Structure 1
Amino acid sequence: MSSFTRFSRFSRPLLPALGLFFALTLPGCGTRSDGETADTKATAEVPVQPVVVDSATLKKQVMLRDSLLADSIMKKSGQLPGAILPGKRIVAFYGNIRSKGMGILGREPKEQMFRKFEKVLAEWRAADPSRGVQAALHNVTITAQGTPGKDGKWRLMNSKATIEEVISWAREHKCILFLDVQVGHSTLAAELPKLEQYLKQPDIHLGIDPEFSLATMPGVRPNQRIGTYDAKDVNFAVSFLARIVSENNLPPKVLTVHRFTRKMITNYKNIKLDPRVQIVMHMDGHGEPTLKKDSYHDYIVKEPVQYTGFKLFYEYDARPKPHHIMTPQEVIALTPSPLYIQYQ
């Protein structure tokens, strides 16, 4: 969510390590197809053609074998080692540590914010003692902007110092960290590689926000219209994370996908699951409880993908009174019960 005004249908005036990567064995150049070793004379009379390796094809073959192994483990055990969901419920504070306007993460002084967070975590533990709680920070790391910038892409990435600082905050308080991406007029293919060095770390996960994906809307400024991702975009993010998991022997990554309208995600049935990536479709709308429940039902439950999430807004959900921010008990009672909870 950017630092300028957000669109929502509820804002009525506005719109454990597991190594899965295998080397593909190629035939030795000095061996014939019948298994006999060619002698010097034969080699001179019949020149041996060099083996040409198509790196793109090789990578596809390796990833296919890798994915099949992951699938077999998934079928046997239900999930890969180190998976957070569904064993725990993730509870996150969202925002940007350099912005007071983007969410609770960054709005208050650090120690004050973490004291509030500890109280929230305790409420969730008490509301559902049967399921552990995994604390998380969710930092918007590539943010949609109100100006196009030098390359005309309408987005800006946090500095290395800011990213490293929020990583230190998370680890200091035993939180996992989500790096959230608002691409503006760029694409996931262009932006996600910028975060790969961080996503190689086992406690860092990813969020993508269709609201600010405007590549299909030339000339539209972020926040003028609600953006969109297709299933192919989500699949790109899944494949990107799955490769990182495999190449770095990591536990599964969690991918959160924000959503509060139907058009924000198109062709949801084509989203492909991979046991190396746990997909959370995240209800991101604000408003009074009835509207939030309706949105959860219409855009998350009716178009299921894998796991579900639910956002709570400190500034907007309680307006006007007597509306209130939904309690952990109210959110847990939803069907299905969300396993990713985000406070903004």
Structure 2
Amino acid sequence: MTRRRPRALVLTGALCLALTACAADVPAEQASPAASPSPTPEPGPEQGTVRTSEAAATVLPTGGLALAASQTFFDRAPVVVLADDADPASQLRASSVALAVGAPVLLDDDGAALATELDRLDADWVLTVGDATLEARPGDETTPEATPDAEDATGDVVVVPAPADDAALADLLGTTATEPLPAEAGREVAALAGVERGSFTPLQAPVAETAPSDPATAPATAAPTTEPETQTAELPRLELPEALPSTLALTTGDATELLAAATARAAGAHLAVVPGGDPRATSETVAAVSGAGAEHVVGLGDAFGDAETLGWRAATAATGVELPGGGQLVFPGKRYVALYGSPVTPALGVLGEQGTPETVARAAEHAAAYDGLTEDTVVPAMEIIATVASAGPGTDGNYSTEWPAEDLRPLVEAAGEAGQYVVLDLQPGRASFLEQAQQYADLLALPHVGLALDPEWNLGPDEVHMVRIGSVSAAEVNEVVDWLADFTRERNLPQKLLVLHQFQVRMIQTVPEVDRSRSELAVLVHADGQGGQGAKQSTWRTLHEHAPDIEWWGWKNFYDEDSPMLTPEQTMSQVDPVPHFISYQ
């Protein structure tokens, strides 16, 4: 495209850096020869034009990330900051400059795509940092007005080298420099997040300390010069573009995302560091997303998945609701210690041996015994039997007694108020796991409530309990996975734990085929073997060999059936790998 010449070459004094047009000069032929010469009015500041999106979420590809960020956050930017692709120090400094002037920052190796982007932005000036260079494009002609030692013109784009001196660069930008901000390796983006937009705060990598040398053998060095760096090129008066307060940019904090993060901040978007790419991961990331109140979320890089995934994860984080132990993910970083049983009867486990307040206190005591045995957060938990296998068919003929959800609610809510996690255990008899799970939807709608499937008590159409151990196929489990994952996503709930009980391979022969791709859920296989520790450890190893890709595992300690029952110290030191969910029955 044919673009207008930059006004930097025809105006004198302070010029306006801008993203919109300055007032046009009055044509010479319209001026009266008799009129007294009038002073040339100083052009007012110009602003950049930023882009808004109606999409709930956008994910920018890791490849060409800096360029994609410019295309996403800016409609027009007559000034573009250019960094050296091979020099991290240049990229740090360029990011500082971008925030100071409210301009996108690009890399000098983007080739033809860079030229196309400069045209799209209608860029008049390119401010190069370090050794960054803007190569001439086919058809470009050097403008004769450009002074070689002041400004380089590539076609109709004026290239202005940024001074290496902070004060000189700040003067060029029309501002003052604050104290440099150290940016440690791996924390460059985190440092950038602390820089105020519109402020020139140089980001600097820490200088490596060197051992003192012998003055007698040290090479001679030139005396430092006291002369200030000269800069004959000028940039216009600056004014930041209007901000994007309803947009939140997410970065993992990786240094490769620095320039994109700087461009987002320069456009006035909020910025949050989300290590790993899942905004649900920690209390800090949940607070950052929920506190931003953004209508549009932009993920900087492939770590954030696709736009749909980022959209629902960000919507979940925006609720600000956290799981016991912090964040909205069940794992990693947490280990659960649970009481197992039913509040209806003590015959089914220790959970029902006392009243509600005492059960909550007992769960906390069991968990406290594991504090200090792991670096992870220990979360007290309860596994409540919601449907219990029965010897007779019952009125509905399914050989399972479903306790009313409202009968379980007092204990479930008391656990939640105490910061404890709850798992509802299903023993379906001839009913389906999915059918029974749906009966407890009101309780599963609570953020701290997950689900457990117990195949031991899953019967075929003509089977009864205590004749043979039940089993379930991966296909049946996946019906529950799909329903519970959709249920969780649609309600913007934190991730839910789905426990699969097993003490024989045949109970879930196809456990490797269980769908673990739904990140709304964390799927855990729970080894329920009882008896001597040698047999239990053998079962533990066999289950692991059968399903080596399962990441999360549970272990059960039986008060009466184990010989002997492991202590907390023994559970954490003798069970390998260390279980993530430990229950007591």
Query: Normalising by structure 2, what TM-score?
Result: 0.43
Cα distance in structure 2, aligned partners of 1:148 and 1:248: 35
Pick closer, same or farther for the CA change 1:73–1:312 going to 2, 3 Å: farther
Pick closer, same or farther for the CA change 1:138–1:272 going to 2, 3 Å: same
User: Quick one: which of 241, 254, 262 aligns to 2:484?
Assistant: 241
Q: What pairs with 1:157-236 in structure 2 (closer than 5 Å)?
A: 157-215=402-460, 218-236=461-479
The Cα of 1:111 is off from its aligned counterpart by 4.7
User: Quick one: which of 323, 326, 331 aligns to 2:566?
Assistant: 326
Cα pair 1:307 1:339 within 8 Å, conserved: yes
- Deviation string for 1:272-308 (max 9, x for gaps)? 1121110110001111211111111112354232310
Do structure 1's residue 147 and structure 2's residue 376 form an aligned pair? no
Number of the residue aligned with 1:9: none
Give 2:520's aligned amino acid.
Answer: R
- Deviation string for 1:28-59 (max 9, x for gaps)? xxxxxxxxxxxxxxxxxxxxxxxxxxxxxxxx
The Cα of 1:339 is off from its aligned counterpart by 0.4
Q: What pairs with 1:63-74 in structure 2 (closer than 5 Å)?
A: none
Cα distance in structure 2, aligned partners of 1:82 and 1:306: 18
Cα distance in structure 2, aligned partners of 1:310 and 1:246: 29
Cα distance in structure 1, aligned partners of 2:520 and 2:306: 11
Number of the residue aligned with 2:272: none
Cα distance in structure 2, aligned partners of 1:157 and 1:301: 34
Cα distance in structure 1, aligned partners of 2:447 and 2:363: 22
Do structure 1's residue 83 and structure 2's residue 329 form an aligned pair? yes
Cα distance in structure 2, aligned partners of 1:72 and 1:249: 12
Cα distance in structure 2, aligned partners of 1:73 and 1:161: 34
Pick closer, same or farther for the CA change 1:276–1:115 going to 2, 3 Å: closer
Which of the pair has more CA radius of gyration? 2
Indicate the RMSD between aligned Cα atoms, in angstroms: 2.5
Number of the residue aligned with 2:493: 250
Cα distance in structure 2, aligned partners of 1:255 and 1:170: 18
Pick closer, same or farther for the CA change 1:191–1:339 going to 2, 3 Å: same
The Cα of 1:269 is off from its aligned counterpart by 2.2
The Cα of 1:173 is off from its aligned counterpart by 2.8
The Cα of 1:115 is off from its aligned counterpart by 4.4
SS of the residue corresponding to residue 337 of structure 1 reads: coil
Cα distance in structure 2, aligned partners of 1:68 and 1:210: 35
Number of the residue aligned with 2:559: 314
Number of the residue aligned with 2:351: 105
Do structure 1's residue 117 and structure 2's residue 344 form an aligned pair? no
Stretches of structure 1 lacking an aligned partner (at least 5 in a row): 1-20, 23-66, 75-79, 318-322
Pick closer, same or farther for the CA change 1:141–1:292 going to 2, 3 Å: same
Cα pair 1:139 1:166 within 8 Å, conserved: no
Cα distance in structure 2, aligned partners of 1:69 and 1:134: 32
The Cα of 1:100 is off from its aligned counterpart by 1.0
- Deviation string for 1:116-160 (max 9, x for gaps)? 4333212111222x1111111110001111110122111111123
Cα pair 1:283 1:300 within 8 Å, conserved: no
Cα distance in structure 2, aligned partners of 1:177 and 1:142: 15
Give 2:403's aligned amino acid.
Answer: N
Stretches of structure 2 lacking an aligned partner (at least 5 in a row): 1-55, 58-304, 313-321
User: Quick one: which of 505, 512, 525 aligns to 1:262?
Assistant: 505
Pick closer, same or farther for the CA change 1:69–1:198 going to 2, 3 Å: farther
Cα distance in structure 1, aligned partners of 2:373 and 2:486: 36
Give 1:275's aligned amino acid.
Answer: S
User: Structure with the greater relative contact order (CA < 8 A, sep ≥ 6): 1 or 2?
Assistant: 1
Cα pair 1:70 1:275 within 8 Å, conserved: no
Pick closer, same or farther for the CA change 1:115–1:177 going to 2, 3 Å: closer
Pick closer, same or farther for the CA change 1:70–1:233 going to 2, 3 Å: farther
Number of the residue aligned with 2:287: none
Do structure 1's residue 339 and structure 2's residue 580 form an aligned pair? yes
Identity of aligned residues (%): 26
Query: Normalising by structure 1, what TM-score?
Result: 0.72
User: Quick one: which of 275, 278, 282 aligns to 2:522?
Assistant: 278
Cα distance in structure 1, aligned partners of 2:502 and 2:437: 19
Number of the residue aligned with 2:18: none
Cα distance in structure 2, aligned partners of 1:71 and 1:248: 15
Pick closer, same or farther for the CA change 1:313–1:340 going to 2, 3 Å: same
- Deviation string for 1:203-238 (max 9, x for gaps)? 1110010000012xx432222210001111221121
Pick closer, same or farther for the CA change 1:166–1:116 going to 2, 3 Å: closer
Cα distance in structure 1, aligned partners of 2:306 and 2:514: 17
Number of the residue aligned with 1:34: none
- Deviation string for 1:76-116 (max 9, x for gaps)? xxxx9610212100111010001111000002344554444
Cα distance in structure 2, aligned partners of 1:300 and 1:223: 26
Give 1:253's aligned amino acid.
Answer: K
Cα distance in structure 1, aligned partners of 2:378 and 2:566: 18
Cα distance in structure 1, aligned partners of 2:567 and 2:367: 12
Number of the residue aligned with 2:340: 94
Cα pair 1:259 1:282 within 8 Å, conserved: yes
